[in-house]
Structure formats: C-alpha cells, structure tokens
C-alpha cells in the first residue's frame, strides 16, 4: 500500500511577518505613515513586487485598480512594470485611458510623487506626463540583465537618497525599452537637468543619449525602464561588491519618495 505524501503545510517554513508601514521600518509615529499606491492593469506583472518594495522601504502599500478612479488617499503612486493590455497598439497606449490615470494625472500636476517603472514609464509618456516615447529595442530582442545606471539628478522625489554621479545596479527587463525624442526635446531635458538616470557601460536598448530615466519639470514624476523593485531584498537582487544577490540599490527610490512626502507635510 502506497503511503500518502506528507502534507506540505507541515514541511514548509512559516514566513515571518513583514513590517507594516513607515512606523515599523523608520520608527515613525502612526500619523507619519506614508501610503504609496501601486496600480494594477490587465497584464501588469510587477505590482506585487512593487508593493513589497514599498513595504520594505518603510511605507504602507495600497493596491489600486485601473478601473477605479479613487486613489484612496495615497501620498504617492507607483505605476509598475508588465505588459498592460498585452502591449496592443503600443506599449501603454490603452492603459493611458484607464479611469485611474485621469486621477493620477491631476494628482501629479498637483505635486504628488509618481513613479513609472518600465511599462509604467511607457504609460507616463502616453499620458503626456513625461515627454518622448518608447519603441522596440534597437536589437529587436527582449533583454533581461542587471544594469548599471549613473545618477544624473539626485534632487527628484524618487532619487534624493542617491548622490549625483553615483553608480547603482538595477535589474532591467524590457522589449520596448528604447527611449526616443526629437533633438529639441532631448536638448531641453539635458539643459534642464531632467535626465535622472543614464545607462553606464553599455546601452542595452538604443535609447537616445543613453537615457534610462527622466523627470518632469517639477521633479515629482519620474519614469525609468529598469526595475528598482527587484533590488530591495538580500538574496533576490543583483550582485554587489558585498556578494551575490546582495544589491539593494532599489530601496533608495522608495525611501526617497517617503522622505519627499514627509518633508511636504
């Protein structure tokens, strides 16, 4: 007689509870807790990762739904990566018309910190919250690698934890990651210091002037192609001088937003 397999519930370790909110991670009082919303569209695949990154950075993640225009009193918004609506028409072109995006656009114009990661960056350009556009990678292939970025602007709501000229390593994975704009727009971005991150060592997708991330005039809206939410926890991020999978550079993005929100209160 075949014996039944032991229950997995008895053999798997029980996960430790994660700290909740800014109070747990940063020693802040309950009234200082920062709420960061993470939007889910049909086809989004990094929303849970972004929520976890927000929590590990010390804020309270708030799930937001694309069809719900209510931002539920969040202090900042992350538009995560993925393939919203299957990238039909153009990456981000359909998501730009979601109910939540009208509210996000109004909030962004009012100064709310908004971060667009990969597909989120594409959505921000389609929504005209950031200039330029994203097209197929120059080599026409999907690419996935750990990418070194140089910080060009450490004064935005999402980059203040870094220093100008600092090199950070952030995982990159995209197919439509080539940032393009006309020369006048590129010159304006450069002149106004609105290039926030630049690819270092190698341009992985043909983006104009090695641009990996940009910001709006106010510095509260930032879009970039690499994924900081994948560099926030030992054992799961990129390699660093400290060892394999120890890179935590992604935390700086979310901690910057927390500090920006608290400074504005």
> Is position 127 within any domain?
yes
Average pLDDT (217-237) is 97
Please tell me the distance from the alpha carbon of residue 202 to that of residue 215, in angstroms, as a whole number.
22
Catalytic residues: 118, 227, 229
pTM of structure: 0.88
- Domain for residue 19, yes or no? no
Give the bridge partners for 69, in sequence order: none
Containing structural domain, residue 222:
30-264
Q: Is residue 237 part of a domain?
A: yes
CA distances from 222 to 16, 95, 129, 138, 155 (A): 33, 17, 9, 23, 11
* 117 assigned to some structural domain: yes
pLDDT over 50 at 10, yes or no:
no
Number of domains the chain contains: 1
pLDDT of 30: 59
Q: Is residue 124 part of a domain?
A: yes
With respect to residue 13, please indicate whether it lies within any of the assigned structural domains: no
pLDDT digits (tens, 9 = 90+) for 251-262: 999 999 999 999
pLDDT interval class at 29 (50, 70, 90): low
Q: Averaged over 126-139, what is the pLDDT? A: 95
Q: Which of 28-37, 61-70, 110-119, 151-160 has the lowest mean pLDDT?
A: 28-37
User: Residue 107 belongs to a domain with what CATH number?
Assistant: 3.40.50.880
Alpha carbon distance 84, 107 (integer Å)? 21
What's the half-sphere exposure (Cβ side, CA atoms, 13 Å) at 28? 20
Closest-CA residue to 138 (of 206, 198, 83)? 206
Residue 264: band (very low, low, confident or very high) from pLDDT cuts 50, 70, 90: very high
Q: Is residue 151 part of a domain?
A: yes
Q: 60 forms bridges with which residues in the sheet?
A: 35
Per the CB < 8 A criterion, the answer to whether 33 and 23 are in contact is yes
In a domain, 12, yes or no: no
Across 182-204, average pLDDT: 97
Asked if pLDDT for residue 20 goes beyond 60, the answer is no
| Percent of the chain at pLDDT exceeding 90 | 84
């Amino acid at each position: 007689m075949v014996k039944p397999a032991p229950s997995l519930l008895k053999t798997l370790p029980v996960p430790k509870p994660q700290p909740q909110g800014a109070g747990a991670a940063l020693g802040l009082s309950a009234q200082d807790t920062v709420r960061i919303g993470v939007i889910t569209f049909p086809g989004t695949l990094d929303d849970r990762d972004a929520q976890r990154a927000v929590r590990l950075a010390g804020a309270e993640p708030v799930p937001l739904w694309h069809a719900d225009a209510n931002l539920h009193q969040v202090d900042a918004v992350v538009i995560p990566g993925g393939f919203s609506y299957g990238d039909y028409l153009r990456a981000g072109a359909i998501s730009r018309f979601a109910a939540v995006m009208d509210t996000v656009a109004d909030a962004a114009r009012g100064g709310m910190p908004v971060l667009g990661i990969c597909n989120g960056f594409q959505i921000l350009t389609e929504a005209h919250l950031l200039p330029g556009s994203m097209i197929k990678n120059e080599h026409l292939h999907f690419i996935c690698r750990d990418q070194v970025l140089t910080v060009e602007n450490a004064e935005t709501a999402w980059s203040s934890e870094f220093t100008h000229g600092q090199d950070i390593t952030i995982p990159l994975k995209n197919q439509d990651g080539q940032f393009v704009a006309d020369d006048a727009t590129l010159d304006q971005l450069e002149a106004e210091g609105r290039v926030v991150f630049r690819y270092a060592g190698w341009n992985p997708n043909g983006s104009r002037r090695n641009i990996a991330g940009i910001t709006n005039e106010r510095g509260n809206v930032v879009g970039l192609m690499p994924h900081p939410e994948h560099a926030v926890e030992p054992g799961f991020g990129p390699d660093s001088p400290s060892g394999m999978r120890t890179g935590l550079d992604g935390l700086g993005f979310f901690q910057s937003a927390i500090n920006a929100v608290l400074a504005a209160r």
